[in-house]
Structures are given as C-alpha cells and as structure tokens.
Chains A and B, each alone.
Chain A
Amino acid sequence: MRAATATTAPKPQLRGAKPKFAVIQFPGSNCDQDAFFVIRDVLGCPVEYVWHADTSLRGYDAVILPGGFSYGDYLRTGAVARFAPIMASVIKHAERGGYIFGVCNGFQVLCEAHLLPGALVRNVNCKFVCKWVTLRVENADTPFTTAYKQEQLLRIPIAHGEGRYICDDATLQELEDDNRVIFRYADTDGKLTEAGNPNGSVSHIAGIVNARFNVMGMMPHPERASEKILGSADGRGIFASLVSSLVSK
C-alpha cells in the first residue's frame, strides 16, 4: 500500500467559510487557552472549548487535544482522559477522516486511545524538561505541515516529564517506511545528535501521524511559538497548514 500524503489524506467536508475548531478541555488541561488564542486571534478562525464531559463534536472541522496534566496524569499520562465521555466522539471524528491534533498531553491521550501507535514514557534523564528545542520537519506533505519545507528547522519549546516516544520495532519500521514521522528532535544544525534529543525518544521522534494522515500528535508546543513576540512563530505553520488543508479542497 502506498503511504498516504497531504494529497491523499482524507479531505473532510468544510462546514463554513472558515474551518471551525474544537479545543477539548479535560480537568488539568493547561495549554487549552494558548491553542484557543492561536486559532482565534492569530489565525482568525472560529473556535470553541468543548468540555471533557460533553459527548458531541457536531459542527467542528478540526479537534485539538491540548497540553496539560489531564486528570492529574494519574496512573499513566492520558490513561484516564482517554475514557472521558468526549473521547468516543473524538474517535468517531478520526474515523470520519476529520483532523485531530494532539499537543503534549494531547499526544499522550491519542496514544492511550490507540489513535496513534506507541507510547510516551518518562524522559530518559528522569527530568521534567522545559526548554526551546530544534525540530526538523520530516514530512512536509501532510495536512499538518504544508506550510513548511522538507527538513525545515523549527524553534519550538517543549515542557514535559514523560515525552520519550517508544514503540516496537515493527511499528517504528512502518512509521519510517510510510513517512509518518513528522518531526524529529535535532541540534541547531539539523543533525540528529544525542545532545539534540531532549528525552531519549526512539529515532528522535517528536511527532507522528496515523496511517490515514488525519491524526497527528507531537510533544513540543507549537501553540506557545506562534507569534514572534513569544520568541518564535515557527509553530504557527501547523495550525495554518490545518486551516489551508481544510479550505483548499
């Protein structure tokens, strides 16, 4: 089977002139307002919060699972959030080919929900790492990355204690073969060095996409780097890509 790309990924039917976003709020989400701000104020698109206890995602074109510590990250990161009432609709949205983007804790929730393969475990150095990192764009031909160039370097912050991406060898091979690794941690020259890998993720993986290319998760925080005044606007491209992927059909 040929790997999906931005051109072959599902093109969900747009409901209005501009795509409407849902930002899911779990108890303990803390990057929800940042994502909301980027969508509404930076990109000028309609966006609403959707509470974890709600059950409908009707009317939304794209769904954001924000960063934070949902349900206190008790048991495992994302393990309890994965069964929140809204998650049945999130899974349905994915099955319909709708776009879903999980950031940090949102990525962890997507892995726990098996919408993305693998898992995120404690950083190899056992530290909570909060710093700016360099990401290399590994696949610019996805609905989430059309605003970037292949191998473009992005400056985006990370803030996590459990961001070491792991998966079994067969899954890793599949991710690599199908170009589903979207971002890798790199050094400032774009080389994949151990020093440039802040958490010990396998193959320096910072972000991946599902087999249909409509669900992406990443540990770094593009919503915290979407305006120059915040130190970098490099993260804006992901949200902008999503909007243009939804509009240009």
Chain B
Amino acid sequence: MAQVKVVVTLKPSLLDAQGRVVQDALHALGYESVSQVRIGKYMELEVNGDGDLDAQVKEMCSRLLANPVIENYTYEVVK
C-alpha cells in the first residue's frame, strides 16, 4: 500500500478570488509583507495493488482530481 499526497492549485495565470480575500485579511491583521496568496487543495489517497502507480495517479489527477483547463497538480508518493 502506498500513500499519495496530491496538491492541486489554480494555474498561475488565473485570478484566485479566494486567495485575494485571504491576502486582504492578512494585510488587515498587519502582515503587510504578504503577497501572492494562492489557495489550493490537498488530498491524501491510499492506493493498494501493483501496477504503475505513477501512471495511475497521473490519470486520476488529469481525469478527476484536477481540471487541466484551470488547475495544475503535483503529487508525492509515500511508501
């Protein structure tokens, strides 16, 4: 069994409306040095079985976990 940690982020070219709100809130708290706040998604999966784990994870990411039109993904396999 492998644990897979997936991080999905909005493409950098897209305005992240949530990130902007959080950045404004951080500024309001006095953290003026903060910029470029981006909000993404973090997912943990446990995957059983053999086969090409990388290929499986990439397929899961591009079909469902991320929308390639608007998002990028990265993942890490923890054995």
Q: Is the CB of B18 within 8 A of A76?
A: no
Q: Knowing A119-B69, A121-B70, A166-B70 touch, does A79 contact B18 (C-beta < 8 A)?
A: no
Q: Is chain B's interface secondary structure helix, strand, loop, or mixed overall?
A: mixed
Q: Pull 18 A–B residue pairs with CB atoms less than 8 Å apart, ordered by A.
A: A75-B41, A75-B65, A76-B67, A79-B64, A80-B64, A111-B69, A112-B67, A117-B69, A121-B10, A121-B14, A122-B18, A123-B17, A126-B17, A126-B18, A126-B21, A164-B17, A167-B69, A200-B17
B34 contacts A by Cβ under 8 Å = no
The 10 closest A-B pairs by CB, nearest first: A119-B70, A119-B69, A122-B17, A126-B17, A126-B21, A124-B17, A76-B67, A119-B67, A122-B18, A121-B70
Give B residues with C-beta under 8 Å from A. 10, 14-15, 17-18, 21, 41, 64-65, 67, 69-70
Interface membership of A83, Cβ < 8 A: yes
Residue ranges of A at the interface with B (Cβ–Cβ < 8 Å): 75-76, 79-80, 83, 111-112, 117-119, 121-126, 164, 166-168, 200
Q: Which residues of B contact A126 (CB under 8 A)?
A: 17-18, 21
Q: Is the CB of A75 within 8 A of B64?
A: yes
| A125: contacting residue among B10, B17, B41, CB under 8 A | B17
Query: In the complex, what residues of A have CB within 8 A of residue B18's CB?
Result: 122, 126
Known: A122-B18, A125-B17, A200-B17. 14 other contacts (CB 8 A): A75-B41, A75-B64, A76-B67, A79-B67, A83-B64, A117-B69, A121-B10, A121-B14, A121-B70, A124-B15, A126-B21, A166-B14, A166-B70, A167-B69
Q: Would you give the shortest CB distance from A137 to chain B, in whole angstroms?
A: 26
**How far does the alpha carbon of A126 sit from the alpha carbon of B17 in the complex, in Å?**
6
- Cα-based distance from A111 to B68 in the complex (angstroms): 12
Are A118 and B69 neighbours in the complex by a CB distance under 8 Å?
Answer: yes
Q: How long is the Cα–Cα vector from A166 to B67 in the complex, in angstroms?
A: 13
Residues from chain B with Cβ under 8 Å of A124 in the complex:
15, 17
Complex Cα gap A168–B68 (Å)? 12
A117 to B70, CA, bound (A): 11
**How many whole Å from A227's CB to the nearest CB in chain B?**
34
Smallest beta-carbon distance A118→chain B, Å: 7
B31 to chain A, nearest CB (A): 19
A222–chain B nearest beta-carbon distance, Å: 25
Min CB–CB distance B68 → chain A (angstroms): 10
Pick the most buried of B10, B21, B64: most chain A CB atoms within 10 A of its CB: B64
Residue of B whose beta carbon sits closest to that of A164? B17
Q: How far is the CB of A244 from chain B (nearest CB, A)?
A: 33
Smallest CB-CB separation from A123: which chain B residue? Answer: B17
